[in-house]
A and B are shown apart, each in its own frame.
Chain A
Amino acid sequence: MREEYGAFQEAGAEIVAVAVADASTIDRGVRAVINPPYPLLADPDHKVAEAFGVYELLSSNYAAPSVFVIDTDRSIVWSYVGRDRSDRPSVATILENLP
């Protein structure tokens, strides 16, 4: 993923990951393990997940794994909602759909 991160940066896009969890939990659980180069955001009240329509799509208390490509005017130019926990689009697919 680190390698692919560079491809996103070259395309002028930023990856941002959001979890329905508080920041300290993410900090301990994710940053401590993988420390990714992109921002990890805490959405403990799941307001953002709800606003994007992906909260509890698959199971209670969870945001469905999903990807939104947001252009600079805030329009969502591409999106992908996983059908299960391991369903994610490929990096190449996301890159192809960057504005």
Chain B
Amino acid sequence: MSRNWSVLGGVLLVAVGLVLAVVLVGPRMVAPEPTQVSPTETAGASPLESPLPEPDAETGELAASVDGFPITQAYVSKTVRLNRVLGALSGASVLGERETLERLVRSQVILNGAPPVDEPTEDEVEGFISSLQRNWGVSDATVVARLEAEGLERGFLEETIRRLLTVQAAVDSLETEGHNLSQWLREQQQEAEIWMIEDPADPDKTELDGAEESVDPSATEETSLATEPPASGPELPTMAPAFTLERAGGGSFDLEDRLSEGPVVLVFFERCA
């Protein structure tokens, strides 16, 4: 089974799935307590031979490690709580701890493997946060209060957004270089030294491979549903239903009108945050 990482949605998805994409963001790494590590070797990855970074004052149990970059359980927990806050504000569903961790690992693989990119400026980070708040129709004070209720500071939101934008810039950079992102990510994940704690909810599952793993346990078929979906897949129409929809920024779009000029590639993305 394959899972192509977003290419078409490279820009679109992250900007649109604002809240959900936040979990793509990796932590500002804090060093782990190596003795507390219970790592699991990643499929296709070589064992982690390099020493783990030295612990510092902010040590915590390690949840994962990507080429020596540790992701602590404390950080995963904070990210889950942040997403809970953002999910409550946006109405979006919130990822569980495991999926959050897997996405953090994936984003770290991207950051490690992609060409270096500039971090976004403070203005860019604040502009992004402002656009989120406008979307949600809430003030900054409300966001801060919600964060505090989860034991988080606004700085963590800023840091997460900064990371998100950095990951996005890395993805853009890869696209500009002409990489097939899904293939690139698969290769990176095979080459990377990835350690992850075992999933207590699934003791038999000891592998992490973001390019291969199904997030949806009910989904077992191939992702590509070319024209004829498998029997177990969703029922998709063979003829596009006619529709007219309002266009963001003004005007409307009528499918049939547009089809008179040529084919249409219709891309659904998740609801805006």
Contact = CB atoms under 8 A, between A and B. Distances in A.
Given A74-B256, A81-B234, A88-B7, A65 B265 contact: no
Contacts of A23: 246-249
Interface residues on A, range: 35 or more
Contact of A19 (B16, B92, B216, B226): B16
B237 A76 contact: yes
B234 to A, nearest CB: 5
B36 to A, nearest CB: 30
B20 A85 contact: yes
Interface residues of B, number: 77
Contacts of A52: 236-237, 240-241, 266, 268
B265 A14 contact: yes
B263 A12 contact: yes
A63 B265 contact: no
Contacts of A21: 271-272
A23 B272 CA distance: 10
Interface in A6-44: 8, 11-21, 23-34, 36, 39-43
B223 interface: yes
Interface string B15-31: 11110110010000000
A75 to B, nearest CB: 6
A72 B12 contact: no
B181 interface: yes
A68 B237 CA distance: 10
B245 A41 contact: yes
Contact of B12 (A17, A20, A68): A17
Contact of B267 (A17, A51, A71, A72): A17
B182 interface: yes
A33 B127 CA distance: 9
B114 interface: no
Interface in A52-99: 52-54, 57-94, 97-99
A13 B263 contact: yes
B246 A48 contact: no
A68 B265 contact: yes
Contacts of A53: 234-237
Interface of A: 1, 3-4, 8, 11-21, 23-34, 36, 39-43, 47-49, 51-54, 57-94, 97-99
30 contacts: A3-B176, A15-B264, A17-B12, A18-B245, A19-B269, A20-B270, A28-B135, A29-B132, A30-B248, A42-B245, A48-B241, A48-B245, A52-B236, A52-B241, A61-B92, A62-B92, A65-B269, A67-B8, A67-B267, A70-B264, A76-B227, A80-B225, A81-B223, A81-B225, A81-B229, A84-B3, A85-B270, A86-B24, A90-B8, A91-B8
Interface of B: 3-13, 15-18, 20-21, 24, 91-93, 103, 128, 131-132, 134-135, 175-176, 180-182, 214-216, 219, 223-227, 229, 233-243, 245-249, 253, 255-256, 258-273
